[in-house]
Amino acid sequence: MNRRIIPLALLILGTAAWLSGWNVRQAPAQETQPPVAAPEFGDAAIAETPTPLHVEIDRLIRERTPNYDSMAAPLATDGEFLRRVSLDLTGLLPSVAETRAFLADTDPAKREKVVNRLLAHPSYPRHMQRTFDVVLMRRLAAKHVAAPAWETFLRTSFAEDKGYDQIVREILAADGTDPKARGPARFLLDREGDSHEITRDVARIFLGANLDCAQCHDHPSVDGFKQAHYYGIQAFVVRSFLFTDEKKVAMMAEKADGEVTFESVFEIRDKKSSGPKSLPPQIFEKVSFTEPKFDKGKEYVVAPDPKKKEVRPIPKFSRRAHLAEAVASRDNRRFARTAVNRVWSILFARGLVHPVDMDHAANPPSHPELLDLLTDEFMRNRFDVRWLLREIVLSSTYQRSSQRPVGADGKAEFPPETAFAQAPVRALSPAQFAWSYCQATGEADVQRNALGNKLSEETLFQRLAGYESQFTNRFGGQPGKPVEGLEATIDQALWLSNDAGVLSLLNVRPGSLSDRLVKLPADNPAAIAEELYLTTLVRPPTPQEVAEVAEYLKDTTPETRPNAIKDLVWAVTMSSEFRVLH
């Protein structure tokens, strides 16, 4: 009933604003704003609950910590907010025209307006696709399912506001037999259909439980993670395996028999084991179905044939088919709780339960009432990720500055991270970094101009995808072990410093930032600094920074200025501030 529908008008406005706002040459600043931002998003919620969720978030965050107000960072400046929310909702840096318009806007509701616009932006689904791709696939190599099929499935799902529960059910149910729906099958197939790997990741990603230890014994330090929990999940998939048909297409197949068996290696070592145990399928001790019994010889729709390996067996009863419902349903509160906690942790670099996959009684949430409320409301709003993001980013908690006032000694006192009283400093994802660099240097504008009337989110993505993959290869970590946080290496810094391709984006050419800066009067360093800082760091420069820019360009001649400008753009785009979300 709370199904939120983005008004068509708003979608069109958002798209129009996007298309025009990105074309620096054609777009006067005022056109980048939709003239009206109707508050349709919140209407239904307001009618049903006395206070919007984002207000409740702030209340519960504040009430939990004594002296919260005294330790809380002030709200972020407009520039800091715009940069953060653009990158969080679309993965993109705002254009300098958007930034100027936003800073000049005097509407008190302008933050809500921009949130609505960004959520309706055509880059929102792609950003969600990238974000959840890393969550779900950990940058594992695409082997049996082509990455584009999987990415399209995710992107389309988020564009359509498919509920997160529905997305996960489709992922866990897909067996790859339908050639038109290979995408969602990637989760199982590119884990080689391995029942242990599937068990570990289902527990970790969807149930907030890192049960890796529990494969061999009850978790040694976590009472709540039992070996039986691990094997209860594995029992859903223990009969499943990767089947390859005559055309070498991989798909999931299943036998009609097979049980999990487990025995604690500690008990074996201490000679206390009463022998191997077994379990029917269950999620944290909750059994959700009874298994029908079939007479011997009648267990299969298509029986396996030892002589014909090309026959894919199909049992009358599939355990795996029950996994999706058992995991991603309202009856399994852990699923919704883990989902909201994960979204929270993406935006705050820390879960309410932290780490996200260690949700157990001895590691309680920092804000239990808030986590409960978010879980309830997420389920009530049909697991709608776009709705959840909107509520969180509208909260003051999200909109705090990352900066604390410093004392006379130049140092600041930081509130504990668990208070959520100061915005975190988070590494840009490789894609965010790539697109920010392309946007800031002007490469994105060069490509927009080149596309002309063929410009769309998709065509621009195609043009810049090469940069994105280069950044992802260098900054994304390794298959199965994506980078968390900011891991900086020498070879990355060497590449950013010296690679001809990276540096070529700094060149003075039509549409580039260096070109705009070179054309500004040399005797007006304040104007140069403003254009540079608004474009790259989405904020005006401080007087000290204006002086530094002036100093940098002081002794340049018309011949040496272009190179000095390029170096200056490099220095700012390679700065720590540019590399992070804050």
CB-based contacts of 182, cutoff 8 Å, min separation 6: 145, 146, 149, 176
d(CA 108, CA 117): 16
Q: Of 527, 575, 534, whose CA–CA distance to 549 is shortest? A: 527
Which part of the chain contacts another protein (CB under 8 A), choosing from 164-172, 311-319, 443-451, 480-488? 480-488
Interacting residue with another protein among 488, 509, 510, 524 (CB under 8 A): 488
What's the closest the beta carbon of residue 320 comes to another protein, in angstroms? 19
Binding-residue total with another protein (CB under 8 A): 59
Which part of the chain contacts another protein (CB under 8 A), choosing from 151-159, 160-168, 308-316, 570-578? 570-578
What's the closest the beta carbon of residue 473 comes to another protein, in angstroms? 10
What's the closest the beta carbon of residue 503 comes to another protein, in angstroms? 5
For 347: left if phi > 0, alpha if psi spans -120 to 50, otherwise beta; the answer is: alpha
- Residue 309's φ and ψ, nearest 5 degrees, are -70, -15
Which part of the chain contacts another protein (CB under 8 A), choosing from 249-257, 441-449, 457-465, 569-577? 569-577
Which part of the chain contacts another protein (CB under 8 A), choosing from 224-232, 292-300, 495-503, 520-528? 495-503
Q: Which is nearer to another protein, 373 or 565 (CB)?
A: 565
Q: Of 321, 198, 326, whose CA–CA distance to 254 is shortest? A: 321
- What b/e sequence results for 524-536 when a residue is b if at least 16 CB atoms lie within 10 Å of its CB, and e otherwise? ebeebbbbbbbbb
Q: Which is nearer to another protein, 108 or 543 (CB)?
A: 543
Q: Which is nearer to another protein, 51 or 478 (CB)?
A: 478
| Residue 493 touching another protein (CB under 8 A) | yes
d(CA 265, CA 401): 50
How far from 204 is each of 73, 81, 132, 436, 530, CA to CA, in Å?
A: 33, 32, 14, 31, 46
What's the closest the beta carbon of residue 531 comes to another protein, in angstroms? 16
Q: Which amino acid is present at 172?
A: L
Q: Report 531-560 residues binding another protein (CB under 8 A).
A: 542, 544-545, 548, 552
CB-based contacts of 209, cutoff 8 Å, min separation 6: 203, 224, 225, 229, 284, 334, 357, 358, 359, 360
What's the closest the beta carbon of residue 217 comes to another protein, in angstroms? 14
d(CA 243, CA 178): 14
Which part of the chain contacts another protein (CB under 8 A), choosing from 43-51, 156-164, 167-175, 485-493? 485-493
What's the closest the beta carbon of residue 413 comes to another protein, in angstroms? 10
d(CA 313, CA 297): 13
x-or-dash string of contact with another protein, 347-376, rule CB under 8 A: --------x---------------------
Q: Which is nearer to another protein, 245 or 417 (CB)?
A: 417
Chain position carrying tokens 């970094």: 433
- Residue 389's φ and ψ, nearest 5 degrees, are -60, -45
For residue 196 the two structure tokens come to 């242990």
What's the closest the beta carbon of residue 566 comes to another protein, in angstroms? 9
Which part of the chain contacts another protein (CB under 8 A), choosing from 123-131, 274-282, 286-294, 573-581? 573-581
Q: Which is nearer to another protein, 310 or 499 (CB)?
A: 499
Q: Report 393-412 residues binding another protein (CB under 8 A).
A: 402-406, 410, 412
Element (H, E) at 393: helix 385-394
* Runs of H (alpha helix) within 120-220: 123-137, 147-159, 164-173, 186-189, 195-201
Interacting residue with another protein among 107, 291, 310, 487 (CB under 8 A): 487
DSSP assignment string, 468-507: HHHHHHHHSEETTEE--S----HHHHHHHHH-HHHHHTTS
Q: Which is nearer to another protein, 120 or 568 (CB)?
A: 568
What letter does residue 424 receive in the DSSP assignment?
Answer: P
| Residue 500 touching another protein (CB under 8 A) | yes
Residues near another protein, by CB under 8 A: 194, 196-197, 200, 212-213, 355, 402-406, 410, 412, 414, 425, 427, 477-481, 483, 485-500, 503, 542, 544-545, 548, 552, 563-564, 567-568, 570-572, 574-577, 579-580, 582
